[in-house]
Structure formats: C-alpha cells, structure tokens
Amino acid sequence: MVEKLNKDMIEAMKNKDKEKLAVIRAVKASMDKERIDKKREINDDLLLDVVNREVKMRKESIEEFKKGNREDLIKATEAELEILKGYLPEQLDMAEVEKIIDEIFAEVKPTGQKDMGLVMKEATAKLKGKTDMKEVSNIIRTKLSEL
C-alpha cells in the first residue's frame, strides 16, 4: 500500500492532478509526523491508521460544511474523501459487520454496558479499516442495551 501511495504521487505529479497530489502529500506528511513523534515504522498499518484518521476528519468537515451551507467546500471535501477511500481495504457491508459483531458477542458473552470495552477491543481487532468504527460502536451499544 505504501508503494502504491508513492506511485500514485508520482503519477499525480506527471498528470498535474493537484487535488490528488494534495491529498497524497497530506497523508505522507501525517505518516512522517507519526514516524517521528511516535517512532513508528512506515508500513501498511501506519498508512491504514493515517488514512482512517484523514477520512474521519473529512467526514466531520462535510458535516460542518452542511451546517454552514457551503456546497463548494462539500464537493471538494467529498472528492478528497473518494481519493482517500482508494487506500482503504474493501469495506464490509452492514450485514457482514453485524454478523461479525454477533460472533464477537458469542465469544465474549457480555452482560451489560460495562462490557463495552471488551467487545470493542475484539471488534477493533477484526474490523479496523474495514468499516466505520463509529457505526460499529453504535451497533454494539444498541446490542448491549438490549441485554
């Protein structure tokens, strides 16, 4: 994935694709910051963490732009979001996510809201990068409240 990011950056430079180049440079800058600050090796896991963080930031920005009725910024941010999604693994649909969460519940056997951390730990291990973890958290919270 890191090699793909570097190749895409070179390709964006050659094609003078300013939007894609800006997004890729932002990802690379975040990766370098993580490498320096937290002494992490640049690898696919780091790339996945950074891209997920960037996606989350873009989604939050879109929500704020909608509140401010800024269609121009919404479109630009959605375009950036699409570029970022190209570096994430294939996303699972909600039916698959719920099935995995049900399996986790069978393994962990939670008894109430106090077991949220245990369930989320397992869910994060199995689903990180494959779906929106905020949605996973909401599903787990709902299931725990039904116990």
* DSSP one-letter string for 23-54: HHHHHHHHHHHHHHHH----SHHHHHHHHHHH
The answer to whether the beta carbons of residues 51 and 45 sit under 8 Å apart is no
Averaged over 28-37, what is the pLDDT? 91
- What was the pLDDT predicted at 136? 92
- What was the pLDDT predicted at 131? 85
Residue 52 has pLDDT above 90, yes or no: no
Domains belonging to the chain, first-starting first, are 2-85 (1.10.1510.10), 94-145 (1.10.10.410)
* Helices vs. strands in the chain: H and E counts, helices first: 7, 0
Residue 45 has pLDDT above 90, yes or no: no
pLDDT in tens, 19-32: 999 999 999 999 99
- What was the pLDDT predicted at 49? 86
Residue 129 has pLDDT above 80, yes or no: no
Residue 48 has pLDDT above 80, yes or no: yes
- What was the pLDDT predicted at 146? 87
As a whole number of angstroms, the distance between CA 54 and CA 75 comes to 16
